[in-house]
Structure formats: C-alpha cells, structure tokens
Chain A
Amino acid sequence: MPEPASGPDRAVGAALARWRRLRRRPETWLFLVILAVGTLFGLMAPGFLTLPNVIDLLETYSVQAIIAMGLFVVLVSGGIDISFAATASVAQYCAALLASRLGLPAPLVILAGLAVGVGLGCVNAALIHHLRITSIIATIAMMSVSFSLLMYFSGGRSIYDLPDWWTSRVVFYRAELASGDIVRVTLPVVLMGAMALLTWALMTRTSIGRQIYAMGGNPEAARRVGIDVGRLTYVAYGYLGFAAALGGLVQAHRVGESVPNAMVNTELAVLSAAVLGGASLAGGVGTVPGVLLGIVLLAILQNGLNLLGVSPYFFQIVIGVTILVSTSITVLSSRRGRRLRTLGEAPSHG
C-alpha cells in the first residue's frame, strides 16, 4: 500500500489510474489516431476541416454506418454474418418492385422492405440456432443463395423509376455559412444518428443488450444462468437484417435507383469498420461509439487522401495497412493489459 498522498498528488494519481484504464480501450487509441490523422489532413488539405466537407463525409458513410450498427450486435453475440449486403440488396429490390410496379404507398413499401430484411435475418438465426451450423458457414451459404436468387429473378436489371417520395431529398436543417457554402443535414445522416442511438440504448440500457454481451462472452455460462440463447440469436440476426434493410432503403434513396448488385463487396468494408472500433470476432466486447469511430477513421482516410489528390487506387492499400496495424495494436495492448489486470479493473462494456 502506498502512503496516503496529499491533495494534488492524489488528483494526479487518479488521473494516471484513469489513463491506465483508458489506455486499454481500443476507442482511446482510435480517437487519438483520428485526431492525429484529422490534424494532419487539416494542415495539408485546406478543404478538409470545413463543415460542408464533414457533413458530406457523414452522408457518404451513412449506409455503411447503419449496417455496421446491426453487424456490431451480431459480433457482440459471438457470431459473424457475411450475408448482410445480400440481405440489403434483396430488401431494397423487393421494396423497389412494390413501389414501382404495384405503386404501393410509402409506409407499406418501407414496412415490406424492413420485413424482408428481418425475415432473412431470422432465417440465418434459425440455421445457426436450430440446425447448429457455424455462423460464418451459414451466412456464406445464405449470401450465395439470396444474392444469386436476386440476380436470377431480377436478371440484373436495375429499377430506375422509383417514386418521388423515395428519391427526393429530405433536408432537416439547412444553413448558409459566411463563406457561402451551404450545410444540409439530410435524412441519411439523421437515420444514422437514430440507428446509433437505438443500438446504444438496446445494448447498454436494456436487459436484452446485457444478455447479448453475456452470451458473446460465454454462451454456455449464459445458458446455464437461464438466458434464452435461442431468442437472443433471433434478436441479434433479426436486428442485423433490419439494419441491412434500412441501409438498403437509404442507399436507394441516396442514388435514386435500385441496382441489384450495387452493394456487393461492401461486406468486408463494414466488417473492418466494426472491428477497427473494437468489436471482437470472439464476441462479448465492443461499444457503439467505438464502431462509429471505426467508420469515421475509414471515412476521413478516404476523403483526406482524395483531397490530397492521391490516386483512388491507392486507397485500398491504405485500408489494408490500417486494418493490420490497428488490429495488431489492439490485440497486443489488450494482451499486455490482461497480464497486468487486477480484479478491480475488469473491462467495462459501457
């Protein structure tokens, strides 16, 4: 036991202890990296740290962020899902068909699209829970089934005649800056915020969320404590299906058409954003702010390099290096933490 310290020393000690706790959180590292990269780009590319650019960035990445929220819940539950891009495409195309061919009203179309997403998510959950197929295998299989069926039945044809209510821009807040630039807060950004808040509330403020963390940490222990693991599997994958469908609808809203294969190959980008933010493939850890920070990091990297005039072909190299470096740092620092951890400092999930 160290001798009792006087006032200021104790404050310093508390701050140090706080820093030691924070140091182990991937969010802290991510935040510092974002600050560093943001400052760097801000100094090098004059247009980078302007409000319109930041809002544009948010809008560009809103679809990925919405889907990442759902994937985050599945990752916390200890599973993984590769099929969400296919789910998003199927939900989007079904809704587009209903809207353009049958001319159904907006609420029905949106409900139907979301229901398709939740339904496909529940199929995943059924395969994983009742048939005991490993989540990665089940979702790879479901991805090939649902995406190929979509391509088969749509014949790869895009739907261009989406109704106006779907494609017209919804602006919640509009302001003109002194510089003459116009700042708009649009529907995708608002939906992204709402989805992040909803996911945060679900995972930290409800018993379902706490149970999902428990299940991801140790499913067998969770089951013996009396948690209904099957129901939680449905909740997690159904929620991802919902998020994917919402992402699909928003994507069509942004581009004004429904292209069946527009969202393929976004799986790995969304997965890397979630993992960058500290969600672990082993389940049981991760936070909503972390996932958002992961998306922000990828977004500012891409945008900043663009503004600097770096070739877009170069971007994929940067993403690869970022994933490798950040995951290595996260694992290595948490490994050091595990060795030193005392009982009072159990990791928190806040």
Chain B
Amino acid sequence: MADARPLPAAKQGSPLRLFAGLPGGHLGLVSLLVGLLLLFAFLVPGFLSVATLNSFMYQLPLLGLLSLAMIVPLMSGGLNLAIIATTSQSALLMVWIMGTLAPPGTGGSSAFLVILLALAAGLLLCVLIGLLTGALVAYTGVHPILVTLGTKSLIDGVSIYLTRGMALSGVPDAFAAAAASTPLGVPLIFLLLVAVAVAVGVILKHTPFGLACAMIGSNPEATRYSAVDTGRVLVGVYALSSVVCFFAALVMIATFNSASADYAQSYLLVTILAAVLGGVDPFGGFGTVTGLMIALAILQLLSSGLNQFGVSTYLTVAIWGATLILVVVAQTFAARLPARFRRRK
C-alpha cells in the first residue's frame, strides 16, 4: 500500500514531514495537552486531584502498552493487527498455568515457582508468535495487514476454540498482590508502562536495529541495497512487538484478574489512532515514543474529562476520532499556508 501512492502533495519536499502530527511537532501536542488540562480544570471542579491522577495511572497502561506494540511495526511501514489476539492468548496461557498448578491455598515458594513458570511460558508464546509473524512478513512479501489479519484470526480462533469463549480466572494471591502494589504511591502497572516505553524508545532511537527499522519504513529497497538484512530486521520488528504484548498481557491480568479472548478487542484501532495522533507516519519511517505517550495522555485526558461531565463512552470514542481528523487537518493546512503566502507576493 505504501509504495502505491505518492506522498501527499503538502508533505513533499517540506521539512514538515519530519514533524508530522501537529504543527510544531511535540510542542503542538504538549500545548494541546496543557490546553485540555486547563480547560477541564476550569470546567470541572476538583478535576486536578489525586483521585483523577490515580485513575489516569490505572487506566493508561493497557492502552499504552498495546500502542507501544503497534508503533514498532508502524515505524517499519507495516502494521500488526494481531497485538490484541497475542496479548489475550498470552494472558490466557498464564492464567491457565497459574490456575491449574497453583490452586488457591498453595504455599508461598511453590506458588512463586508456578508464577515464574507461567511468566516464562507467556513470554515464550509471544516470542514464538512474533517470530512466526515476522518470518511470514519478511520472507513471503505479503502485505503485513494481510499476514497479521491471518495470524489474528488464527490466534483468536485457537483461543476461542480452547476456552469456548469463556473467561479464565484464578490468579494466585501473590500475583494479584504484586500487581496491585503501589511502590512510592505509583501503581506498579504504570511503572511497567514507563519502563517498557523507555526501553522501546531507546531501542528505536539509539540502536542500529531501530535505525534499520525506520529506514525500512522509509524505503525498504534502498535499505536492502545498503547492506541491511531487511528480512532479519523485520523478524525482529514483529518479535519485539509481540514481546511488548507480553507486558500488556501482564497488565491485562492485573486489571481484570482474569483473561478472556475478547478483552480489549476495541483497543485495536485506537492504538493506530494514538500512534498517528502522536506523529507516527502511517507509511512508516517517522515517529517517536515521546509523541505517542503525549498523544495517549491526550486521549486519556479527553476520556476522563468527558467522563466527569457525564458524557457517554460512545461519544468519547466519537470525539477521539474527530480529534484525529482535526489534528491531521490542522497539519495539512499548516503545511499549505507558506505556499499560499508565497503565491500572493
């Protein structure tokens, strides 16, 4: 898809391509965030409170981690539609292992071992899924949308077939307690999000792998001719994306205390919205984790703020979509403006 269409005219040859998302790049996003914060603080009494901050920190991690899983393939010019399926299946596997091997009342040390085993199995499953997806994308040349559509259907199918669509529960107390702990007053799951975000940011920005990713996103052929093993990098891209799904699975278990094949399904397209809002080029090649995080904060702020107004969740999703359209429109007009002035002179 990417190579079939030319760049939008407004983007061609314009330095703005480097700062897609909002006019002014991160600055624009931050000012939107601050503006929204001030607006809600002004309109909703008691909005700027610890309770709001707390709910913010509990609600953001799942969507945040899933978006991080999406940004890696997006940077390489692809897409991973299977992130939710991977996350649910990994969560299902971990809950199943913990539930069958450590029924409630199991002693401390054996419960600990079982939890470790479950984590290892969940991580292994994610790595396997990632390697398989990556190999299919890299070595068949089928468009990533189609490959991941197929793997999503396959993974979801296996999960639903094995569980008959039921939710699994039975998380050991030790795991639940650890997941709900708040070191330094910050929920552990939020700390997990920060840690994974920093790790993904560093990998994308400061390693040869990250550079190769962005280069493949800009121009796969040129990257291949620059002696980069694009196939191997692509396998790595989808493996990394799936590993991030493992952390999302941990948050999913922590949040719901159970696992099911249809948790969080509605987040799939929201992750793409968040990434594009955060300035990730949907054709690949450009984007930052910082931008993504600011965009996520904006989306979450909109949802909490509107929630306190008593606005329905449905309307919130509609407003998310409208925000994205408005941001891209603002970007287009900002890019066209200089050309217009020049013509008038």
Contact = CB atoms under 8 A, between A and B. Distances in A.
Does A associate with B in a complex?
Answer: yes
Contacts of B151: 320, 324
B253 interface: no
Interface stretch (B112-120, B210-218, B233-241, B315-323): B315-323
24 contacts: A134-B283, A136-B1, A137-B272, A137-B276, A137-B328, A141-B324, A144-B318, A145-B318, A148-B318, A281-B145, A282-B143, A314-B161, A315-B157, A316-B154, A316-B161, A318-B157, A320-B151, A320-B156, A324-B151, A327-B143, A327-B150, A331-B140, A332-B141, A335-B141
B325 interface: yes
Nearest to A221: B6
Contacts of A151: 314
A321 B317 contact: no
A134 B140 contact: no
B160 A316 contact: yes
A82 interface: yes
Contacts of B5: 78, 219, 283
Contact of A317 (B147, B161, B320): B161
Interface in A282-305: 282-284
A324 B317 contact: no
Nearest to A219: B5
Nearest to B9: A132
Interface residues of B, number: 53
B282 A316 contact: no
Contact of A216 (B4, B140, B142, B149): B4
A11 to B, nearest CB: 36
A29 to B, nearest CB: 14
Interface in A114-141: 127, 131-134, 136-138, 140-141
Interface in B98-154: 136, 140-143, 145-147, 149-154
The SS class assigned to the B binding surface is helix
B161 A145 contact: no
Contacts of B146: 272, 275, 281, 323, 327
Interface in B254-304: 269-270, 272-273, 276, 282-283
B321 A327 contact: no
Interface string A258-288: 0000000000100110010000011110000
Given A132-B8, A144-B269, A316 B153 contact: yes
B232 interface: no
B4 A283 contact: yes
Nearest to B283: A134
Contacts of A316: 153-154, 156-157, 160-161
Contacts of A342: none
Interface residues of A, number: 52
A283 B4 CA distance: 7
B157 to A, nearest CB: 3
Contact of A148 (B81, B150, B315, B324): B315
A282 B273 contact: no
Interface in A301-315: 311, 313-315
Contacts of B141: 331-332, 335
Given A219-B5, A268-B149, A282-B3, A320 B161 contact: no
Given A141-B324, A311-B161, A219 B1 contact: no
Which of B8, B156, B157, B320 has the most chain A CB atoms inside 10 A of its CB? B157
A316 B160 CA distance: 9
A220 B155 CA distance: 39
B1 A144 contact: no
Contacts of A332: 140-141
B332 interface: yes
B4 A131 contact: no
A151 B1 CA distance: 32
Nearest to A220: B6
B334 interface: no
B44 interface: no
Nearest to B154: A320
A157 B147 CA distance: 36
A268 B164 contact: no
Nearest to B329: A131
A68 interface: no
Interface in A239-267: none
